[in-house]
A and B are shown apart, each in its own frame.
Chain A
Amino acid sequence: MTHSDKTRANRRLVPKLFLFSIAMFGFGYLLVPLYDVICDITGFNGRTTSLAVATEGNANGVDTSRTVTVEFVSSLNSGAPWEFRPTVTRMQVHPGEFYEISYVATNLTDQDMVGQAVPSVAPSLAAVHFQKIECFCFDRQDFAPGESKDMPVMFRVDPRLADHVSVVTLSYTFFKLDPSS
């Protein structure tokens, strides 16, 4: 290879390498939606998906021969001056049937507050088989000073839930949000 050949070869190769590294920067960002998709399919991180409406309904029927224990827990992220707890802590359910429970959130301060409850299910593999219809109140919420809100959740456990899972936990963590954002 002569020197000018080398220069030409470099001119061809180097932009490709730069493009490749820029593409890999993009790939880093692509991992974000990719992760969400994988989580939605496998329940990888215990995040649940909310049903918009109960259209699927009882297509799979109610399995009355089986009982699953569902536990309800609540957590407050630090710096969230709320009281937040479920009205029921534990119940026995039949897979396929819809049940309703609720959480109560109370603003303990004398100021306007914005907060949001974020769900998670354990074991994480049960997350895809835990279907719920949440009240809109699980979106971002404004709380007047001292205001208390009842937050109902309708849910059912899919009969396809693996046999060895006998307890499922639904957890909500309450976060304080920045009012400006």
Chain B
Amino acid sequence: MLYTRCLVRFTAIFTSGLLLLWSMAAVAESGWLQLNMPRGVTSVSREVYDLHMLILWICVAIGVVVFGVMFYSMYFHRKSRGVEPAKFHESTKVEVVWTLIPLFILVGMAIPATKTLIKMEDIGDTEMTVKITGYQWRWHYEYLGKDIGFFSSMSTPREQVYNLAEKNPDYILEVDNPLVLPVDTRIRLLTTAADVIHSWWVPELGWKRDAIPGFINDNWTLIEEPGIYRGVCAELCGRDHAYMPIVLHAVSKEEFAEWVQQQQQPSTALSAAD
């Protein structure tokens, strides 16, 4: 039939197109393999990752069974094979079974989820506090009790945004003043905002938290590996929502102490409230 031929041809063109794209990708060594959540650098982020993978695989398993049955039926129970339709249309026993089994699976998911959630919400003893304030469209960081506070704005030049210059590797994920935090330190992060709601998110830490004007939210983190971690504002906050990145430098405790001293030099101490 014509349409089948049409379809075959279309599929062929389409697959060869996809293959071409794939081979291009292999050459370019690019974002094709960016498929999953990062495991992150905190115990919380790793627990969240494991939970995510657990539920993903449970869903895949259920999907394989349900869709498997469905495709089996679609192949073998076709009219063109000359089958007579069965007449059955209910079975309390079967219905009870497929109500209860999902219920048990859900309980199985809820237990690890509850454990992780309790851990995330328990702030406990923290060694330092940083207050994060969202502005349209930049972040302000204030290190409580250390007299350090500064704005952190995107440093990617506008020419790159408007495609007038070649884009940096960290295009729109780079800032003038990164947030510097020590590793192996339990840190309390307060979030609030000065105008509209923002949301502070560094995927490697394993969570995001809304920054709400007039209200203060708290959360905690304990970074285990030094490095540069990048994040974004996750709550739509107006025109330049895409352009208020977060860059977090996680450094050793010694380097952090050094950095704090540098910042406290009178020339660099910025007013926290400007």
Contact = CB atoms under 8 A, between A and B. Distances in A.
A78 B136 contact: yes
A75 B217 CA distance: 13
Nearest to B196: A78
Interface in A62-107: 71, 73-79, 83-85, 89-90
Nearest to A170: B216
Interface stretch (B30-38, B187-195, B255-263): B187-195
A120 interface: yes
Interface stretch (A8-16, A52-60, A161-169): A161-169
Contacts of B136: 78
Interface residues of A, number: 30
Interface string A105-127: 00000000000001011111000
B254 interface: no
Interface in B108-123: 122-123
Interface string B135-162: 1100000101100000000000000000
A45 interface: yes
B249 interface: no
Could you tell me the dominant secondary structure of chain B's interface residues?
A: loop
B215 interface: yes
A77 B271 CA distance: 15
B272 interface: yes
A85 B273 contact: yes
Contact of A167 (B135, B188, B217, B271): B188
Contact of B122 (A89, A122, A164): A164
A171 interface: yes
B129 A167 contact: yes
Nearest to A166: B125
Pairs A-B, 3 closest by C-beta atoms: A122-B218, A171-B216, A78-B194
Given A167-B129, A171-B216, A175-B214, 16 more contacts: A45-B215, A76-B194, A79-B195, A89-B144, A90-B145, A118-B214, A120-B215, A121-B216, A123-B218, A124-B217, A164-B123, A165-B123, A166-B124, A167-B123, A171-B192, A173-B192
25 contacts: A46-B215, A46-B216, A47-B215, A71-B145, A73-B131, A73-B190, A75-B192, A76-B273, A77-B194, A77-B195, A79-B195, A83-B271, A84-B273, A85-B272, A85-B273, A89-B145, A120-B215, A121-B216, A124-B217, A165-B123, A167-B125, A169-B129, A169-B216, A169-B218, A171-B216
Interface of A: 45-47, 71, 73-79, 83-85, 89-90, 118, 120-124, 164-167, 169, 171, 173, 175
Interface of B: 122-126, 129, 131, 133, 135-136, 142, 144-145, 188, 190, 192, 194-195, 213-218, 271-273
